[in-house]
Structure 1
Amino acid sequence: MSLPEKAFPVSWDQFHRDARALAWRVANVSKEWKAIVCITRGGLVPAAVISRELGIRVIETVSVASYHDYENQGDIYVLKEISPELLEAEGEGILIIDDLTDTGKTAGLVRAMMPKAHFATVYAKPKGMPLVDTFITEVSQDTWIYFPWDMGFTYQKPIAENHKG
């Protein structure tokens, strides 16, 4: 398995700060969100933080599988649909949350289900950016984000050692 050239490790503290920052941004969009639809699994953690910060009690999930390994994003599959009552009015007043938009394939699929919803992600890569309304941090397309729930505590080589020829 070849890993991406650039790595962006995110600690629990940093992710929590970024998710709270996303809550601040979407709080300025609407004061009365009807519900959150989080894209599982990555959207679960930021949805929990945002629901707490904004007092949103209704949290729904849509389960979409797309990453089949660390190198290739295969076909996308909807494993769990959004409840029909939240799909009414094309998602108006609904906040869609995910950790990241990468290629935009997952975002495009969920956006098509709820075209009037507000789509927010913590991180965004250039290919997926046009599909989301709000995000906190832009990351280059060739960077792999290592989320805290995917990592253990290990030594990290200095950046300079990775660029020695």
Structure 2
Amino acid sequence: MNASKDDDPRRSFPVSWEELHRTGRALAWRLLDVGPFEGIIGITRGGLVPAAIVARELELRMIDTIGVSSYAGYDGPRGELKVVKPPSLTQDGAGWLIVDDLVDTGETAKVVRAMLPKAHFATIYAKPAGRPLVDTFVTEVSQDTWIYFPWDLEPRPVDPIIGLRPPI
């Protein structure tokens, strides 16, 4: 079988809505002593749900977004990063919290950091290549792990784990 790493169940990390909510709350706990924050900036699209969870837990009412696009399509190749929607409530991020679901290669984080250098950057998940670019995160996963967020999934039957082990 010639499966890509994205199709390899041994390297996939499916996240349920319940797990995302628990981990989003854990992120908020870690941020309690870092704030207070004037507001929160969610990186669209993946950071919107985590930003909503953190905003609720920290009672933040000022919410903004930044949109950065790097994909040609869902399965398309990565292209040049483009800011498709800049934040509108701050110029440099001072006093603001940036939230994303994941820092992977760090390319998006570099663009956002350059625009908002004084903001505190937090993610739920961090991979080694991007981890140095965020200030706070909850869970580190290996670089070759593909995280499937709840909005990427639908319920379906799966094979038992024993079937994933390579033959001896």
TM-score by length of 2: 0.90
Per the TM alignment, residue 27 of structure 1 is displaced from its structure 2 partner at its CA by 1.1
* Residue among 115, 118, 140 paired with 1:116: 118
In the other structure, the counterpart of 2:22 is: 17
Is the contact made by 1:8 and 1:145 (CA closer than 8 Å) also made in structure 2? yes
Residues in 1 aligned to 2:162 and 2:128: alpha-carbon distance in whole angstroms: 26
In the other structure, the counterpart of 1:136 is: 138
Post-superposition CA distance 1:115-139 (Å, at most 9, x none): 1110000000000001000000001
Post-superposition CA distance 1:9-68 (Å, at most 9, x none): 0000000000000001011111x2111011000010011111111110011000111234
In the other structure, the counterpart of 2:87 is: 82
Per the TM alignment, residue 70 of structure 1 is displaced from its structure 2 partner at its CA by 4.0
Is the contact made by 1:2 and 1:71 (CA closer than 8 Å) also made in structure 2? no
* Residue among 141, 148, 153 paired with 2:150: 148
Residues in 1 aligned to 2:138 and 2:78: alpha-carbon distance in whole angstroms: 23
Post-superposition CA distance 1:122-162 (Å, at most 9, x none): 00000000100000000100000000011000112233322
Residues in 2 aligned to 1:86 and 1:128: alpha-carbon distance in whole angstroms: 24
Gapped regions of structure 2 (runs ≥ 5): none
Per the TM alignment, residue 98 of structure 1 is displaced from its structure 2 partner at its CA by 0.2
TM-score by length of 1: 0.91
Q: Going by fraction, where is helix more abundant, 1 or 2?
A: 1
Is the contact made by 2:5 and 2:144 (CA closer than 8 Å) also made in structure 1? no
**2:164 pairs with 1:162:** yes
Length, aligned pairs only: 161
**2:46 pairs with 1:42:** yes
Q: Percent identity?
A: 55
In the other structure, the counterpart of 1:102 is: 104
Residues in 1 aligned to 2:159 and 2:20: alpha-carbon distance in whole angstroms: 22
In the other structure, the counterpart of 1:60 is: 64
More deviation, 45-54/3-12: 3-12
